[in-house]
Amino acid sequence: MRLALTLSTGCALLATGCFMEHSMPPDPPITAIEVDAVISGATLGDDCPESGVDGDIDSGACPADAPCPSFCQQSNVQLAITTSEGGGVVTWQVMRVTLHDSETGEELQELAPRDPRVWSESDGYGEWDELLPAPSELSTSYDLQAPDWNDLQSRSSDFWSRSYQIQMLVEVGGVERTLVSSAVYRVSDIDT
Amino acid sequence: MRSPLAILLLAALGACSTPAEPWSDAWMLEEGERYLADPVARRAGLLESMESRDNIYARERIANYGLESSGWDTLPVWNPRSETLTGDMLDAVEGGRSPSVDAAPLWDGETPVTMAAWVALGREVFFRYPLRADPYVAHSVRELARDESGAWPGVLAFRDVDGDTAIGISCALCHTSVEAGVVSIGAARREFDYGAVRLAYHDETGAPLSEEMRARLSSWGPGRADITADETTDPVAIPDLFGLREQSSLTQAGTIRHTGPIALAIRQETQYLHANHQRSRPPRELMFALSMFLYAIEPPPPQGMDEAAERGAVTFGRLCASCHSNAAFGGPLIEARAVGTDPALANGAARGTGVYRTAPLLGVRDAAPYLHDGTLPNLEALLGRARLREDYTGGTRGPGAIEGHEYGTFLSASEREALIAFLRTL
Structure confidence by residue, pLDDT tens digits, B382-394: 999 999 999 999 9
Across B33-48, b (16+ Cβ under 10 Å) vs e yields ebbbeeeebbbebbee
Taking residues B179-205, report their average pLDDT. Answer: 91
pTM, entire model: 0.89
Which residues in chain A are closer than 8 Å to B226, comparing Cβ atoms? 189-190
Question: For A16-20, B14-18, B298-302, which range has the lowest pLDDT when averaged over its residues?
Answer: A16-20
Which residues in chain A are closer than 8 Å to B63, comparing Cβ atoms? 163, 182-183
The A residues from 109 to 128 touching B (CB cutoff 8 Å) are 117, 119, 121, 123-126
Quote the pLDDT of residue A156: 78
% of chain A residues with pLDDT over 90: 52
Interface residue A149 vs chain B (CB under 8 A): no
Mean pLDDT, all residues of chain B: 91
Quote the pLDDT of residue B100: 76
Strand intervals (E) in B40-164:
82-84, 132-133, 155-159
pLDDT band at B110 (very low <50, low <70, confident <90, very high): very high
Q: What is the pLDDT of residues A118-138, one digit of tens each?
A: 999 999 999 999 999 999 999
The A residues from 17 to 36 touching B (CB cutoff 8 Å) are none
Which residues in chain B are closer than 8 Å to A39, comparing Cβ atoms? 70
Closest chain A C-alpha to B86 CA, distance in angstroms: 15
Q: Which residues have C-beta within 8 Å of that of residue B312, sequence separation ≥ 6?
A: B415, B417, B418, B419, B420, B421, B422, B423
Three-state SS at B6:
helix
pLDDT band at B2 (very low <50, low <70, confident <90, very high): low
Taking residues B195-200, report their average pLDDT. Answer: 89
Mean pLDDT, all residues of chain A: 79
Task: Report CB contact under 8 Å: B206, A62.
Answer: yes
Question: For B59-68, B166-175, B211-220, which range has the lowest pLDDT when averaged over its residues?
Answer: B211-220
The A residues from 67 to 106 touching B (CB cutoff 8 Å) are 68, 70-71, 73-74, 76, 78, 80
Residue A184's nearest CA partner among A169, A167, A170 is A167
> Cβ(A190)–Cβ(B226) under 8 Å?
yes
Which residues in chain A are closer than 8 Å to B279, comparing Cβ atoms? 41, 43, 76, 78, 125, 141
Q: What is the pLDDT of residues B241-276, one digit of tens each?
A: 999 999 999 999 999 999 999 999 999 999 999 999
Residue A44 DSSP symbol: B
DSSP string spanning B196-260? Answer: HHHHHHHHHH-----HHHHHHHHHH-TTEE--S-SSS---EEPPP-TTGGG-SEESTT--EE--S
Q: Can you tell me the distance from the alpha carbon of A143 to that of A111, in angstroms, rounded to the nearest whole number?
A: 10
Which residues in chain A are closer than 8 Å to B231, comparing Cβ atoms? 160
Quote the pLDDT of residue B129: 97
pLDDT band at B169 (very low <50, low <70, confident <90, very high): very high
Residue B103 DSSP symbol: P
Query: Measured between CB atoms, which of B75, B135, B229 is closest to A188?
Result: B229
Query: Measured between CB atoms, which of A55, A74, A183 is closest to B164?
Result: A55
The B residues from 221 to 260 touching A (CB cutoff 8 Å) are 225-227, 229-231
Q: What is the pLDDT of residues A20-36, one digit of tens each?
A: 333 445 554 455 789 99
> Cβ(B372)–Cβ(B341) under 8 Å?
yes
Q: Can you tell me the distance from the alpha carbon of A62 to that of A154, in angstroms, rounded to the nearest whole number?
A: 28
Q: Residues, chain B, total?
A: 426
> Cβ(A189)–Cβ(B229) under 8 Å?
yes
pLDDT band at A57 (very low <50, low <70, confident <90, very high): very low
